[in-house]
Amino acid sequence: MSAVSEELRSYAEEKVERARSVLRELMSLRTEVKNRTLLRAAELLDAKRDLIREENEKDIEFAKDIGLKPAVIDRLVLNDKRIDGMIKVLKDVASLPDPVGEVIKMWNLPNGLKVGRMRVPLGVVFIVYESRPNVTVEAASLCMKSSNAVILRGGKEAVNSNRVLVEILKEASREEGFPEEAIQFIEKTERELVWEFLKMEGKVDVAIPRGGESLIRAVAEHAKVPVIKHYKGVCNIYVDDRADLEKAYDIVFNAKVQRPSVCNAVENLVINRRILKEFFPKMAYYLGKAGVELRCDQESLEIVKSDPKLSFVKVSLATEEDYYEEFLDLILAVKVVEDIDEAIAFIEKYGSKHSDAIITEDYSRAMKFLREVDSAAVYVNASTRFTDGNEFGLGAEMGISTDKIHARGPMALEELTIPKFIILGEGQIRDNFGVPEEFKG
């Protein structure tokens, strides 16, 4: 092993040991200490806006210098609105019930034993993420409230922003009596270092990658520790022939245009054939005015091409690959279907089991869609852009899981705990097999 690799291994081991050193302290930490620390961090974020923006500007300039895409740079920016968002996250998480120690259920057995399940922290959480420095505050706040230790490894393009945010969280921790070793920040940017953390079975309890598909696949392939993941967000909206079209225009526009660079933005618009001529010209007009490029199947392409009022819309014939694509940009693929069954089949084939929506006024079809679409979040008459821990009232999220084990959808406080069985007895023994009387003298 090279000297550099040995150095990275030692660095990783030290970070993990520091995180693990406070796990017992975290388990017994009072809720009021956790809440005070989060609220103090919110105050410090507000007071240090200028410093945060100053450090963030360094990252933005670096991102431009290395040629990152505008969508990536957009995720990187920490303006006043996003600082306000981080402050809100801290306050929201502080206001939520503490899940640690909650007894979920308890039942009595015929032998008198009381059996129950209690929520306990996962332990050491290693989160790998790209571009979005606000994830630093979201992940740390959730781990702090759920009594987990967190190891934060952001991208090299956000290292200055992430560092200053961690410093603020640690300052609040010192002031309020929260163990600051529970927040570990990885400043080194070598990718090989990530693989070291992912090998640490029994020391790192779970890894959560949050970023592009290539990052998540790389983490999943290298990990020996459990990984909670979603590969990409190919979200779909189906406009039924019994839809309220005024709702549909706003929902589709919001889901594509409001912030196209995120995983819950819509990528495929699926339209019932019966309303195509009524619905799609106006929808294409609105989207085209917003600069959205349409990649259409033959039927929907002809609608745009045959209407002189839509000559300004950038449109092309969709390829098979387009329907699988997470564009993260002002690009939308369009597919015409015969009915709800064909729409669901399309979503099953091309979607990523992230977030999908139906727009319909038909109750039976809405319920059918909710039952049969196998995704982490399924909507009726609402934008997919709501798939977010904060929007769901969960305070924040570690990420959005499309896995089917442990956590699915926005991963927040409860998902950062795991139930353990607790058993209360009064001397019960199995099969009445105790110390024989003759042994007792």
d(CA 124, CA 20): 7
Name the residue among 266, 324, 323 with its Cα closest to residue 300.
Answer: 323
Strand pairing class (124-129; 149-153): parallel
Cα 115 to Cα 106, 255, 434, distances in angstroms: 6, 46, 21
Burial of 110 (C-beta count, 10 Å sphere; 0-12/13-18/19+): exposed
235-386 has CATH 3.40.309.10 classification = yes
pLDDT in tens, 70-80: 878 988 999 99
Place of tokens 């950062």: 416
d(CA 60, CA 157): 8
Here the tokens at position 230 are 């979603």
Residue 262: predicted pLDDT:
87
CATH label, 3-228+411-424, candidates 3.40.605.10, 3.40.47.10, 3.30.70.330, 3.40.50.720: 3.40.605.10
SS3 assignment for 84-105: HHHHHHHHHHHHCCCCCCCEEE
Question: The pTM is what?
Answer: 0.85
The one-letter amino acid code at 23 reads: L
Within the chain, which residues score under 70 in pLDDT? Answer: 1-4
Cα 145 to Cα 38, 98, 340, distances in angstroms: 8, 7, 42
Residue 72: predicted pLDDT:
83
- Residue extent(s) of CATH 3.40.309.10 domains in the chain: 235-386
Residue 142: predicted pLDDT:
96
Chain centroid to Cα 182, Å, comes to 21
pLDDT in tens, 227-273: 988 778 999 999 999 999 999 999 999 999 999 988 999 999 999 99
Residue 436: predicted pLDDT:
92
Here the tokens at position 399 are 């990420």
Burial of 330 (C-beta count, 10 Å sphere; 0-12/13-18/19+): middle
Q: 342 and 318 in contact (C-beta within 8 Å)?
A: no
Residue 1: predicted pLDDT:
41
Residue 403: predicted pLDDT:
83
Place of tokens 């660095």: 11
d(CA 370, CA 358): 9
d(CA 340, CA 348): 12
DSSP string, 212-265: -HHHHHHHHHH-SS-B-------EEEEE-TTS-HHHHHHHHHHHHHS-TTSTTS
- Residue extent(s) of CATH 3.40.605.10 domains in the chain: 3-228+411-424
